[in-house]
Amino acid sequence: MILPIPAIDIIDGKCVRLTKGDYATEKVYNEEPVEVAKYFADLGFPRLHLVDLDGAKTHHIVNHRALERIATQTNLIIDFGGGIKSEEDLTKAFDFGAEMVTIGSLAAKEPTKIEKWGRKYGTQRFIIGADAQDERICTNGWLEQSDLMLTDFIAHYMQKDFKQILCTDISHDGTLAGPSTTLYRKVMTAFPNCELIASGGISCLDDFVALEEAGVPAVVFGKAIYEGCIDMQVLSKKYFQ
């Protein structure tokens, strides 16, 4: 059964969403991310994907206090991403309550560093962010498209025992146009042991069913929550009750 993971993106301590990663499209949905997190926890969702968008932009963790408040005031298992570029940032994320961290650009640019961290802290505490446009890995807030092909990138980390891969099809992110199911099915066919987390485009309950039928183990979703496209109580009853 697929695991739905709600997302909270933070700018200036507020819960926001972007479209295709463009900061110019910022829309504030709630002034208090911890209240949103409590809502998810009360509905029975076990996991939270928390993104520090200020951190992603400035290349160091900024919203660690929001992480701390959510971690101390809910029982959610938090994976945290955005701005983790150094071991100091990494330990700060863990110290302030993240069970796992999501690493994107750094995983593409400095794989040796990520592999070293995996050996030290355990690969199970890392989610490798595979953000792709036209199946090529993008970095630096999705502004730069690299020469790395998505499947080659995933293969490298799978060989190093990093099994959790968060794959975002950038062209679908924040669009509410449906997920890139064909792409995710391709990934699962190539890497059946991958603990894939799909991301981008979720718009309705049927999208979860389609991803589950494609063999995807988990999915992150955000904008569909805040725009009222998904009945969260119905979703919770389907998967957690």
Could you say which of 9, 89, 169, 207 is catalytic?
9
Asked if 131 is an active-site residue, the reply is yes
Q: Are 146 and 138 in contact (CB under 8 A)?
A: yes
DSSP 172: G
Give the C-alpha separation, 36 to 20, whole Å.
Answer: 22
Could you say which of 52, 131, 169, 207 is catalytic?
131
Give the C-alpha separation, 188 to 183, whole Å.
Answer: 9
**Which phi and psi angles does 211 have, rounded to 5°?**
-70, -40
Q: Which of 89, 41, 29, 101 is nearest to 62 (CA)?
A: 89
Instruction: State the angle between helix axes of 181-190 and 205-213 in degrees (0 to 180), rounded to the nearest 10.
Output: 30
**Which phi and psi angles does 169 have, rounded to 5°?**
-85, 105
Q: Which of 72, 125, 67, 131 is nearest to 101 (CA)?
A: 125
Active site residues: 9, 131
